[in-house]
Structure 1
């Protein structure tokens, strides 16, 4: 991978800030390593800039999906960790798994992805929008955070709750769901990520860590 100065990373951010809904798709969000001049982690430089320009993230526009967010064709027959979690029915503290690959687009040209997993803990009236990363995935935690936060901003929350038959006062939380001892977990536990953690606190993003025992997935 090429190496960059602090200002070069900031220039990439400024250029990409014209459409914050696609920021998480930019290659530099997954850069690892440190700037050549200030020796700061790329992700920390990005996190500081986002903290100083936090209003831009909150300007990501909602997309109202006219079709239902709950797609009847999701039958759990595909083979993937996402579908396996859906088929097991629950994720302990995250509650009942309601859906997977929940669409956000209204029109084909909309710049919006899908929510990997939706779960609901009825005891605390909280629905979780989860961005699942496979065990061998090496994307940065910053990338995971920006992606699921973007999904939350795009989501028409009132219609989403209606489509899933959930109470209007249900709290909605957006969270990365990554493997215990995986790349993102190690990044958070072993790395110096002061500003990334501050950004996550500011955006109210809490990661959850998952393990697989035999064919069962659980939060640790």
Structure 2
């Protein structure tokens, strides 16, 4: 059931005022709340704090990342994690350059079962010329709102740079003078994808969200990060359940081995 603006505001007033809590607030995922929550965040922007609880200071690069996974469900089930592995295995992607890693952890492993501290992973990392892309990817079906994706990539990249962790990060990936660019990558038929297109059309539908993006970009600039960029994947030529395929990387007698996830159809990406 949809909440009233008063109910949303009351709930916002009960949560801790730091960006790590706010981007995980479930209401940020709801498309129908985008404009009102964007307005709240604009008004409260300078009062919202940061926390380093649980953040890694190193060990960002995972040596075991080979684009493989153990399939707990059929490959027809399209997930963000599988899609990111498929892009990694594709090597280079138009406009985004060479995909060099996926699911880069930003937090230390949880020590206890009831530890709810979580700041997520960077979905994809890619290099194109002198630019290092930090990519938040969204699946093709209607899913999280664009606001959720923007807040995620803002939190991930801002904190890495604000507290100097980016130096260790680049050292581990053997990267030097590349500019850091936060990216939201969404499918055209997803909630986030449609909202990116709406914003680019300069309609009056998302004025508060556009103002929030501008404010976030100002904040990112203060720590040496480029403006958030938006990319949309054209509609798939087939259905999502046919988009990926799994190639076994193990002896066929071993049913529990890992599979290499690859694209089963070409994708076309546009920058907005």
Which range, TM-score by smaller chain? Answer: 0.7 to 0.9
2:153 is the counterpart of 1:148: yes
Q: What is the aligned partner in structure 1 of residue 193 from structure 2?
A: 185
Match of 2:180 among 172, 178, 181: 172
DSSP-derived class of the 1:69 partner: coil
Matched, 1:194 2:183: no
* Structure 2 portions without partners, runs of 5+: 70-74, 76-81, 112-116, 218-227, 238-263
CA distance in 1, matches of 2:94, 2:101: 15
Higher relative contact order (CA 8 A, sep 6+): 2
Give the 5 Å matches for 1:1-220.
Answer: 2-33=1-32, 42-56=33-47, 59-61=50-52, 65-78=56-69, 80-108=82-110, 110-122=117-129, 125-155=130-160, 156-167=165-176, 169-190=177-198, 192-204=205-217, 205-211=228-234, 212=236, 215-220=265-270
The answer to whether the 8 A contact 1:82-1:117 is kept is yes
- Cα distance in 2 between the residues matched to 1:101 and 1:74: 9
1:67 Cα shift? 4.2
Give the TM-score taking structure 2 as reference length: 0.69
Secondary structure of the 2:122 match is: strand
| CA distance in structure 2 between the aligned counterparts of 1:218 and 1:73, rounded to whole angstroms | 29
The more displaced of 62-71 and 13-22 is: 62-71
Name the count of aligned residue pairs.
208
In structure 2, distance between residues paired with 1:138 and 1:173: 24
* Distance in 1 of aligned mates of 2:51 and 2:216: 13
TM-score, normalization: structure 1?
Answer: 0.83
Unaligned runs of 5+ in 1: 34-41
> 1:130 and 1:164 mapped to 2: Cα distance?
16
Cα RMSD (Å) of the superposition?
A: 2.3
Alpha-carbon separation, structure 1, partners of 2:55 and 2:22: 20
Deviation of 1:119 after TM superposition, in Å, equals 0.6
Structure 2 contact 18–49 (Cα < 8 Å) conserved: no
Measured at CA, do residues 57 and 161 of structure 1 come closer, stay the same or move farther in structure 2, by a change above 3 Å? farther
